[in-house]
Amino acid sequence: MKTARIPVVLLGAMLVAFGLSACSEDADGSADAGADVGADTTDDTENDGGVDGDAAAPVASGLPCVIEELLDANCRGCHGPDPQFGAPMSLVTRDDLLAPAPTDDSMTVYEMMQVRVSSDIAPMPPPPNEPLSPAELTALDDWIAAGTPGNEDICDDLPGPSAPIGSPYDWPTEDECDHLVQLRAFDDEDSKFEVPLRNDHYECFEFEIPWGEEVHGLGFRPVIDDTRVVHHWLLYADDQEGRDGRHYRCSGAHPNSELLAGWAPGGTEIVMPPNVGLKMPAPGSRFVLEIHYNNTAGHTDAADSSGVEICATSRLRENTAGMHWLGSEGIAMFSGGETNVVGTCSPQSDEPIHILQSWPHMHQLGTRMKSFIIRADDTRETLVDKPFSFESQVSYWTPATIMPGDRIRTVCTYNNTTGGLVTFGSGTDDEMCYNFVMAWPIGALTNGESLTSTGNVCLQ
């Protein structure tokens, strides 16, 4: 196996468990900065929720067991005793819930929680996690309406967070990865990126393409370092020449770039099917790793080297997949209430098209995206239908086959609270309506060109 090394990237230990299960990792975000790419980077500090030696005796949280179960299943993966992934407070005890909300001290934490779990604009739990069930919402409302009563009993058999759902395929073997590289956040060759004291900070890190030949991407695996402040990351490719060692504050918008992979709490690794490889950027272009940090909790020692591990091969697979752009650029909406923007993809391919993943992308006003297949006989099948949060952009495994004569319709839903007109554009104050769909054969999902890109686009 040939192993490519990115000189400026600090390499560290990789968490064994990703997504919500990673919230149980040690809160200091420690990593072995001397690890080699391709080495065994399993984090020896993995914490399964227990402690060394004798197990600590259970302690009553002061919460009714129905609220304990709700929080344990949906919230404590990040809002645990040591809050993770930008969470500013714990949701462990009744005192935690009765405290002033860190982001608005005019409200208690439980009042803020009641707002967020019912929000379409900034939902909690964030996607890709499922929202609270109607029964859970009712239980929370009833507890608050009753005056937030306490409970001195210990609640047993708590459910714990659900396991993340990701690709059904196993990570490639060592022999399959001709190139195994990690693209990681950095400040310079000798230090991690020092995370500023900001609620929302986007930092972009550039990397030259580390191979000199055409390759297929086989897998993308998250490497999460300082779990206290990493909110999510996205990996892009574009045709501009990259500069190893360059990083800069960015806006979250990347016109003319191709989204390749990403991670947010609740997400996991992306692995291609055995007979399919993802087209990767060519030598002379660049990767851009955008990491969204949230340091609401004010950690003055936050330093991070999170990123992605890529498995690629020069032994090209039978089928080549690529990212395709579905949706619409016909966006013009005035303030006031809910607005839908609709785009229809009518591919001209005379062969089956195999969809693997869907990646909804809107900006700050987007609340939900739905893409559904309209078969040639006018029957309909949902491809993806999920709430959207600009602060937690994730992909969904949505296997489907598009046959000749089928169409895909995408509906983007917005809540324009700006007080003015919002139109299509690449800035975060503009809006977009894209479903980035990973599919093969590459280029099959197309019916024209867009305003910002040519190639794998299928927009109305």
**Structure tokens, 63:** 């919460």
- Biggest distance spanned by C-alpha atoms of the chain: 66
Three-state SS at 112: helix
Q: What is the pLDDT of residue 342?
A: 96
Question: Smallest Cα–Cα separation from 280: which of 426, 181, 172?
Answer: 181
What averages of pLDDT result for each successive group of 10 residues across the chain (460 residues)?
31 26 30 30 33 53 91 87 85 92 90 88 76 91 93 82 72 95 89 91 93 95 94 87 81 77 82 95 91 91 96 97 92 88 92 94 90 97 90 83 96 91 86 93 77 63
**Structure tokens, 249:** 């504050």
Query: What does the DSSP assignment read for 23-67?
Result: GGS-TT----TBPPTTS--B-TT---S--SSSPPPP---SS-HHH
The CA distance from 267 to 129, in Å, is 9
The CA distance from 293 to 389, in Å, is 15
**Structure tokens, 333:** 């909406």
**Structure tokens, 417:** 């609270």
3-state secondary structure 385-451: EEECCCCCCCCEEEEEEECCCCEEEEEEEEECCCCCCEEECCCCCCECEEEEEEEECCCCCCCCCCC
Q: What is the pLDDT of residue 56?
A: 52
The CA distance from 267 to 310, in Å, is 16
The CA distance from 331 to 190, in Å, is 45
**Structure tokens, 24:** 């149980």
The CA distance from 36 to 16, in Å, is 17
The CA distance from 101 to 297, in Å, is 12
| Structural domains of the chain ordered from first start | 19-41+166-313 (2.60.120.310), 65-145 (no CATH), 321-459 (2.60.120.230)
Contact 279, 177 (CB under 8 A): no
